[in-house]
Amino acid sequence: MRPLKRWLGRRRTSVEVSEARGVRSLHLGGAAVQSAIRLASPDRLELAYTRAMMAFLLFRPEPREILMIGLGGGSIARFVHERLPCTRMTVLEINPEVVAAARAHFGLPDDRRLRVLVADGGESVPRLRAACDVLLLDAFDDLRSVPALATRAFYEGCREALRPHGLLVVNFIANEPRFGVYLARIEQVFDGRVLCLPSEDRINMIVLAFRDQPAPIAVAALERVARALKRRFDLRFDRFVRDLVHHNREVEGELVLERGAARDRR
């Protein structure tokens, strides 16, 4: 692994960029990879969890506004910017050195459809009302979910920040010790309208929470949508549907949204 550059971020967390076997990676405070791009195809999503977070497209294929908490190297922001030309995106990142690394080493775009603000999501989100169609939460501290971004009050703020029929998408490390506690809070705030989706490598667990009760989620209809999305985005949406069926309750060909229906099969 060849280090390219190191910054010293807030709370003395190091921000390091490395390169190995054609992949450039971002590390925050250790060797764990927080974000990555393959230099030969920088607009593709290299890490499995970033691909899984895009599963929201099964339910909101044309969001007008996306809000994201946590930038990392900006791979998701870059993908959205390139592949969803009618979507505007705002990213809140607390660490200015992370933003600097994303712009200098990961090709993060800068135009009117993609705003990156140095801000604390824990303070900013609760002040928003009906601000986005999809809210992506991808923030960690030493490979654990940030406690301030996993409280019931914060999840309530996320719900209020969503527009009607909006989606909250939360990335967890699969072995997060408090995952069950955090999932229960999301289920309480969103009245059980929650689905769980593991990343393909099973390192992460993605939680999708619906602001409002959606129409019945027929698996056959999801499979049809997945085939179209797979052709459009070259992501394995068919695999996402299979994993959604396996990790959540299905009754008579429909996914059930109610408290406790999302199964913790990590």
pLDDT (tens digit, 9 = 90+) per residue, 103-123?
999 999 988 999 999 999 999
- Residues 217 and 257 sit within 8 Å (Cβ to Cβ): yes
**Which CATH number is associated with domain 43-255?**
3.40.50.150
Q: Is the pLDDT reported for residue 142 higher than 50?
A: yes
Indicate the pLDDT class of residue 13, thresholds 50, 70 and 90: low
Pick the catalytic residue from 111, 133, 138, 264: 138
| Separation of alpha carbons 214 and 255, rounded Å | 11
- Our answer to whether residue 120 is catalytic in this structure is no
For the chain, which residues make up each domain, given as ranges?
43-255
Q: Is 234 exposed, middle or buried (0-12, 13-18, 19+ CB in 10 A)?
A: exposed
**pLDDT at residue 2, as a whole number:** 57
Write down the pTM of the prediction: 0.93
pLDDT one-digit tens code per residue, 227-257 = 999 999 999 999 999 999 999 999 999 999 9
